[in-house]
Structures are given as structure tokens and as C-alpha cells.
């Protein structure tokens, strides 16, 4: 499965902590808050508007380091194509990034901060 997200940050770590070798990376992407169920009524309030940040774990620190030259930020979000695989340990399911690549252009309008609609990504046959 492929997904395009706007990355605003990258974090990488490769080293040893308390004798354990660690090789990890993450990207942080903009995600729209779900406004479909906003309500204000006599029972209370449930209101969301705007955007949040979602962390995606990378396969390794190297995956993040190869994109660090792009310098993603709030003012310079970088559109990235994530190749995602759903995996399970038998009791819980999660999505992991198999590969990540920058795509040309950004899906965020940098003047307004609004996320533009993007056509679904289709894999090559």
C-alpha cells in the first residue's frame, strides 16, 4: 500500500544504549484532525479543528539520513511517498514503512497551511 504524506520532521538514532544496539528513525507528518463528529449540545462538547502531527517509524536510521538534506519543516513540508505494509504479532496489527521517497511538489499550500487533495497513488503494473 502506498500513501503520500507531508513530512515536517525527521529523527534518526544509531548507537548503543545500556549495552543494546539501536538503529531507528522516524518521520513526522501532518495529519488533518477528524471534524466529522464535532458537536456542541446539552450533553457536552466534542470539537476538533486543524491539523496534528503523526509519527511514522522508519526501517532504520539510514532511511531518514538519506532525506535529511531536504530539511523538512512546518514552513517547508516535503511530500513523501510511503510504502506501507500491515504486519501482526498475532494479537495486534500495525503499519510499518517498508520504503520512503520524496515526491515532487508538496500537498500542503505553504501560504495558507491547507492540505490539498491528492489523487490516489497507483502502483506500476
| pLDDT tens column, 68-88 | 888 888 888 888 999 999 999
- Look at residue 90 and tell me if it is in a domain: yes
CATH of the domain at 60: 2.40.50
Average pLDDT over residues 30-51: 87
Rg of the chain taking only CA atoms, in angstroms:
17
Residue 55: the pLDDT is 95
Residue 35: the pLDDT is 86
- Look at residue 118 and tell me if it is in a domain: no
Instruction: Please give the Cα distance from 9 to 71 (Å, whole number).
Output: 8
- Look at residue 113 and tell me if it is in a domain: no
Three-class DSSP category at 19: coil
- Look at residue 122 and tell me if it is in a domain: no
What's the pTM?
Answer: 0.74
Amino acid at each position: 500500500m502506498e500513501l503520500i504524506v507531508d513530512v515536517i520532521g525527521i529523527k534518526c538514532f544509531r548507537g548503543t544504549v545500556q549495552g543494546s544496539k539501536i538503529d531507528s528513525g522516524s518521520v513526522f507528518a501532518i495529519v488533518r484532525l477528524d471534524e466529522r463528529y464535532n458537536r456542541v449540545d446539552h450533553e457536552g462538547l466534542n470539537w476538533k479543528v486543524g491539523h496534528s502531527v503523526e509519527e511514522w517509524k522508519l526501517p532504520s536510521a539510514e532511511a531518514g539520513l538519506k532525506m535529511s538534506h531536504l530539511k523538512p519543516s512546518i514552513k517547508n513540508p516535503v511530500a513523501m511517498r510511503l510504502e506501507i505494509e500491515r504486519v501482526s504479532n498475532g494479537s495486534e496489527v500495525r503499519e510499518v514503512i517498508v520504503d520512503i521517497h520524496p515526491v515532487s511538489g508538496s500537498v500542503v499550500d505553504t501560504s495558507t497551511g491547507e492540505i490539498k487533495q491528492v489523487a490516489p497513488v497507483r502502483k506500476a503494473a
